[in-house]
Chain A
Amino acid sequence: MKKLRTLVCLLLVVLMVLALGACGSKKSDDAEISKAAVPGKEGSGYKYDSVTIGCSIMPNFITGTTPAENDGACSLVFDEVFKVDPVTKEVKSEILEDWHFEDDTTLVMKLKDNVYFSNGDKATAEDVLFSYSSHVDRSSAYIWEFNILYDECEIVDELTLKMKFSTFYSAFFSSYIIYLYDKSWAESVGWDSLDWQKPVGTGPYVVSDYKIDDHATFTARDDYWNKDKDPVTIREWVLKYYKDTSTMEMDLEAGNIAMCQFSASEYERFQKDGGKGYDVLTGSAGVNHFFQMGFLENDCWYDKNIREAFAVGIPWDEFGQVVLGVTWKQATSSVPSDSPEYKNVGTYKYDLEKAKQLMTAAGYSEEKPLEIHTVTMESPYFSKCCEAFEYYCNQMYVKFTFDLKDIAATINDWNTPGSGVECGFYYDNFGSQDGQYVRGLDWAANPNGSNWTFIDDEYYDNLYLEVAASTDLQTRIAKSQELQQYTYDEFLAIPYSEMTFQVGYRTDVFGKAQMERAVMNSEYWNLANMSYASAWN
């Protein structure tokens, strides 16, 4: 019995220690932003000494690879060669002194003279060229997604280079996100090296600590070459990795991180209950969710009647609300509404009777329904899509079956003809806010490419090419609107929602106007931009 008593005493002691520890933390909790953002030290010139934000993928600095690069992190350590201003749609550059077209197909770029990497190397034209050509050498995703690169490039002098194109596509400026890499450094360490966890770049920060699956810390450079432009107000960013997004959202609520992306379910809860000390903003992702007719097998989709049946036989707005909940936003074109090329072509009016007539005309009935199948990834979103779609299909003489598999098995099936992948639920980057088409030429002609539609339509393909190749903004807008209308009239793709994203941020760390600007321009992840003093007004 004596031993039992000692054990009970031990337990009580432990509980007391816990309680004391809790009391301790409560006191420091009076300064609510103690963990998420540490205020800057006196006289340091920094508004914040350290700000912690949440992310669900670890920073990866090599573009065009899997896992995908984390743009937020990249914006801190690198400068982009070209950047499209999200508000004015102008093409700008941080590091180029000047660029111009010598003729329609020759682009001349001149670097600034004072750009330095974090290891002291001076940025030269070689580095610029290398940053582009590495995509070819590495056969990165950029190349097979949209190969609109130059045909040849000439180094004129230390700071000047000349690129020659057979056809110049405007996507070159906006969609090729090219960070300036240090050629000599990259070549010395190689692409597989772990040194890429702390890369050399020209940006205002360097990676001071990188612990995989845990966090990455970025510290402001004292020798930043562009220091005088706009002082950086945050000395240190800590990107904290979360494997489970709900823990991340909880940490925001608890005040341990200052900003993170919110999932749809968490946003729903926020809308109902509100949040203490934090706010959630919605932004447009610049893409639409759409029902993709065809993937590997496309036979049934060639019948326009069937396509129309699907368009009018399913209440797509309702479908969108079911699968996306509060994040649903009505899509009124294949292009999002905040794109400069957007045209309101309207939605399809739900008419089940008409759909049934069309299906009957195509030779299907209740007893003999159209059978379509798909394979997609096991996730709450896709299973909702498939289940809802199955329900609606049943009402219009369509038997829809689906298999949900894990990522690797799904990709395996997507690459194997005959796996029975006949449709899908996808989103794509068309008419994004910067107004450029992302997909390159070969995709339009490639029936297996992932564009809006898998149906071979010559008129569509030609129109698409015209849009992509238009370097004049007005022409492009006109052609694009024609394409949007054609898509709608021919039932080539059925958008069911604009894609939105939600960002939560602590109101005691960031200002509302600042965040609204960032989110509206889809630039909330550009942490470098958020660090500048000008951003805080």
Chain B
Amino acid sequence: MAKYIIKRILWAIPVLLGVLIIVFTITYLTPGDPVQTILGNGYTPEKYAKKAAELGLDKGYLAQLGSYIWNVVTRFDFGKSYMTNIPVITELTTRMGTTFSIAFLSIIVTILIGIPCGIIAAIKQYSALDYGFTSFALICSAIPSFVIAPVLLVVFGVKLRWLPLSGLDEWKSYILPVFVNALGGIALLTRMTRTSMLETIRQDYIRTARAKGLRESVIIWKHAMKNTMIPVITVTGSWLAMLMGGALIVELIFSIPGLGTYLYGGISNRDYPIINGSVILTAFIVCMMSIVVDILYAVVDPRIKAQFSSGKKKKKSVQAAKEAA
């Protein structure tokens, strides 16, 4: 198992390198010149040349790519923002904390609400609860977050004055952004869990469990849950990866200085170091998240774990059985 994890992590490196090269190339080729953006219009050729040399943009493509990769690999130096001169790595690490905290809170709320709702909807299929939950999920995913967020702001921030509207000064500030993020996730997770659970309880082994005389609740929680979780883990993992990359709309509307707005600003200004650095970080998050998801699969489904286990495991289980007998 450990060998597998190490192998996956090592595989992430060429993936990240590939992402780096592709993103670098795309931003290089996109129309729009950071030097022009900084200088505005009406500059002289000399001024342009001077600024370009300052930013290292006068060298050829390969030279720029080469020096960038070298800096990243040897010193974790992602360069400095052309606009603000702040080192990208500094900004990324600061904003990571903000974005990740919201992401983790959101996913916890999503899981706590989404999964039980999906399970209830599946168990009581065709009942009022089922229709209620699935309709709610549909509405939540149909209404975009940039509509929900301002509405909530107006209701809770302006009219009722219960919650702060922007920034992350106090714990109350987290409520609305987390909630808006969670709504989208809940919609997704409810539907996913419901579908998966419906499929699972139709399986033969559930019938066997019933024939053993077990109570419905035990059947759901002990026999059906683990099997239901596999597609749910996939979906949750990718949702969390997306949130960790920075949910842009939420960050914009609630004025949260996170990774999403950082990348957005970078793109508008053609601030290449910001764009490249943010994308690499996002790619890294996605790689790590997929490794975590794979590990969780192995935890939940022993058939998958069996692919990784070595001889050691078998010996251990034999020992245990012998002791039990």
Interface of A toward B, CB cutoff 8 Å: 1-4, 7, 10-11, 18, 21-22, 25-26, 29, 35, 66-67, 139, 141, 144-145, 192-194, 211-215, 240-244, 246-248, 250-251, 253-256, 406-409, 411-412, 414-415, 448-450
Contacts and interface: CB of A to CB of B under 8 A. Distances in A.
A361 to B, nearest CB: 35
Given A66-B40, A246-B150, A408-B32, A10 B112 contact: yes
Contact of A141 (B40, B172, B251): B40
Contacts of A3: 217, 221
B42 A139 contact: no
Nearest to A141: B40
Contacts of B217: 1-3
A406 B32 contact: yes
Contacts of A139: 47, 50
Contacts of B163: 22, 25
B86 A247 contact: no
A407 B47 contact: no
Closest 4 CB pairs of A and B: A408-B32, A213-B257, A22-B162, A408-B270
16 contacts: A11-B112, A11-B113, A29-B161, A212-B84, A212-B86, A212-B91, A214-B257, A240-B255, A244-B253, A250-B165, A406-B268, A408-B33, A411-B41, A412-B32, A412-B33, A414-B41
Contacts of B165: 247, 250-251, 254, 256
Contact of A242 (B166, B172, B216, B270): B166
Interface string B259-291: 001100000111000000000000000000000
Contacts of A66: 37-40, 83
Nearest to B269: A408
B42 A411 contact: no
A251 B165 CA distance: 6
A243 B252 contact: yes
Contacts of B268: 406-408
B244 interface: no
Contacts of A414: 41
A256 B40 CA distance: 35
Nearest to B160: A22
Contacts of A407: 37, 268-269
Contacts of B112: 7, 10-11
B254 A411 contact: no
Contact of B157 (A2, A192, A250): A250
A414 B32 CA distance: 11
A192 B85 contact: yes
Contact of B116 (A2, A7, A21, A411): A7
B43 interface: yes
Nearest to A251: B165
Nearest to A58: B84
Given A7-B112, A194-B85, A412 B160 contact: no
A26 B166 CA distance: 18
Contact of A215 (B85, B167, B251): B167
Pick from B162, B261, B270 the residue with the most CB of A within 10 Å: B162
Contacts of B32: 406, 408-409, 411-412
Interface residues of B, number: 54
A18 B172 CA distance: 9
Given A25-B162, A250-B154, A250-B165, A144 B43 contact: yes
Interface string B85-122: 11000010000000000000000000011001001100
B245 interface: no
A139 B42 CA distance: 12
Given A213-B257, A250-B150, 13 more contacts: A4-B116, A4-B120, A22-B160, A22-B163, A35-B164, A66-B39, A66-B40, A67-B84, A246-B253, A250-B165, A256-B166, A411-B33, A412-B32
B223 to A, nearest CB: 14
A408 B34 contact: yes
B12 interface: no
Contacts of A145: 42
Contact of B37 (A2, A7, A194, A411): A411
Contact of B261 (A29, A35, A213, A215): A213
A408 B255 contact: no
Nearest to A67: B83
B158 interface: yes
A403 to B, nearest CB: 12
Given A11-B113, A408-B270, A448 B42 contact: yes
Interface string B61-93: 000000000000000000000011110000100
B51 to A, nearest CB: 9
Contacts of A450: 41-42
B31 interface: yes
A32 to B, nearest CB: 9
Interface in B168-218: 172, 175, 216-217
B36 interface: yes
B44 interface: yes
Nearest to B98: A214
Contacts of A212: 84, 86, 91, 257
Contact of B252 (A18, A35, A244): A244
Nearest to B271: A408
A14 to B, nearest CB: 9
Contacts of B91: 212
A385 B42 CA distance: 24
A415 B41 contact: yes
Contact of A250 (B39, B158, B257, B261): B158
A352 B43 CA distance: 40
B161 A144 contact: no
Contacts of A1: 216-217
Nearest to B156: A22
B153 interface: yes
A139 B167 CA distance: 36
A412 B252 CA distance: 26
Contacts of A213: 257, 261-262
Interface in B102-160: 112-113, 116, 119-120, 150, 153-154, 157-158, 160
Nearest to A192: B85
A447 to B, nearest CB: 12
A243 B248 CA distance: 11
Nearest to A2: B217
A240 B166 contact: yes
Contacts of B84: 67, 212
Pick from B112, B120, B158, B268 the residue with the most CB of A within 10 Å: B158
B47 A144 contact: yes
A412 B120 contact: no
A244 B166 CA distance: 10
Given A11-B113, A213-B257, A215-B167, A254 B40 contact: no
Contacts of B119: 4
A243 B269 CA distance: 15
A175 to B, nearest CB: 16
Nearest to B159: A254
Contacts of B262: 213
